[in-house]
C-alpha cells in the first residue's frame, strides 16, 4: 500500500513538475477572446485621460513629496483609505504603463466610437497612432523610473503628441458624427 502511494505521488509530482508555465506573451486560454465593454470615448475617459494627467502633473509636482495621510476614520471610503498605497513615483510609473496598455485596448475588435461607428482598427494611420501611444507610455515609464522632473517635462510632450496624432485625425471634428472616420469632414471656420 505504501509503495503504491509513493508511486502515485511520484507520478503526480512528475506531471506537475513537467508542466511548462505559460510563457509571457503566450496566447490566452482557448475560447477566450477579448471583447470591448465600453465605447471608445468611455474607455478613453476612464483610463488614458486619468493616467496621462498623472504623468502631466509629474512635470510640476514632485511625486516624491509626501502626501497628506488619508483620514481612515469610519467614514473614509476606499479611495481616501488607499490613495497613498501606490503613490509617489510608483503611481507615475503605473500610470505610464496603463497608458502603454491602452494601445492594446483601442485595438480590440468590435469596439464602437461614441457615435456608433466602428473604431477604425484596420486603418494604418490608426494602427500607427496606437503604436505611438504604446511607445509614449513606455517612454513615460522610463522617465518615471529616473525620478527626474526634467525627464517628465521632456516626455510629457511625447505623450501629448501621441494623443494628438489620433485625436486630430479621428476625434477633433465639429460634428461628432464625423468622429472615427479617417479623414472625416471638418467644418470651415
What distance in Å separates the CA atoms of residue 131 and residue 171, rounded to the nearest whole number? 17
What's the pLDDT tens digit per position in 137-164?
A: 999 999 999 999 999 999 999 999 999 9
What's the pLDDT tens digit per position in 34-55?
A: 999 999 999 999 999 999 999 9
What distance in Å separates the CA atoms of residue 182 and residue 189, rounded to the nearest whole number? 20
Contact 14, 68 (CB under 8 A): no
pLDDT at 114: 94
Q: How would you write the chain as a 3-class SS string?
A: CHHHHHHHHHHHHHHHHHCCCCCCCCCCCCCCCCCCCCCHHHHHHHCHHHHHHHHHHCCCCCCCCCCCCCCCCCCCCHHHHHCCCCCHHHHHHHHHHHHHHHHHHCCCCCCECCCCCECCCCCHHHHHHHHHHHHHHHHHHHHHHHCCHHHHHHHHHHHHHHHHHHHHHHHCCCCHHHCCCCCCCCCCC
pLDDT at 117: 95
CB-based contacts of 167: which residues, under 8 Å, 6+ apart?
Answer: none
CATH number attached to the domain at 35-63+85-174: 1.20.120
- Alpha-carbon Rg for the chain in angstroms: 23
What's the pLDDT tens digit per position in 17-40?
A: 444 444 555 665 678 889 999 999
Terminal-residue alpha carbon distance, the chain: 89
pLDDT at 80: 64
What ranges do the domains of the chain cover?
Answer: 35-63+85-174
What's the pLDDT tens digit per position in 48-106?
A: 999 999 999 999 999 998 877 666 566 667 766 666 677 899 999 999 999 999 999 99
Asked if residue 110 has pLDDT above 70, the reply is yes
pLDDT at 14: 46
C-alpha cell belonging to residue 142: 522610463
Closest CA to 98 of 157, 151, 43: 43
Amino acid at each position: 500500500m505504501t509503495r503504491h502511494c509513493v508511486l502515485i505521488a511520484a507520478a503526480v509530482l512528475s506531471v506537475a513538475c513537467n508542466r511548462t508555465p505559460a510563457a509571457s506573451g503566450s496566447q490566452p486560454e482557448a475560447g477566450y477572446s477579448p471583447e470591448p465593454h465600453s465605447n471608445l470615448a468611455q474607455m478613453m475617459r476612464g483610463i488614458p485621460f486619468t493616467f496621462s494627467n498623472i504623468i502631466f502633473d509629474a512635470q510640476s509636482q514632485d511625486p516624491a513629496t509626501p502626501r497628506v495621510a488619508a483620514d481612515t476614520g469610519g467614514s473614509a471610503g476606499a479611495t481616501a483609505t488607499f490613495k497613498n498605497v501606490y503613490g509617489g513615483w510608483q503611481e507615475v510609473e503605473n500610470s505610464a504603463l496603463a497608458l502603454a496598455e491602452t494601445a492594446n485596448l483601442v485595438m480590440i475588435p468590435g469596439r464602437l466610437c461614441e457615435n456608433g461607428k466602428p473604431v477604425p482598427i484596420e486603418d494604418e494611420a490608426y494602427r500607427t497612432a496606437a503604436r505611438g501611444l504604446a511607445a509614449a507610455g513606455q517612454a513615460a515609464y522610463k522617465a518615471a523610473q529616473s525620478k527626474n522632473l526634467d525627464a517628465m517635462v521632456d516626455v510629457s510632450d511625447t505623450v501629448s503628441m501621441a494623443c494628438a496624432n489620433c485625436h486630430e485625425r479621428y476625434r477633433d471634428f465639429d460634428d461628432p458624427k464625423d468622429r472615427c472616420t479617417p479623414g472625416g469632414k471638418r467644418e470651415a471656420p
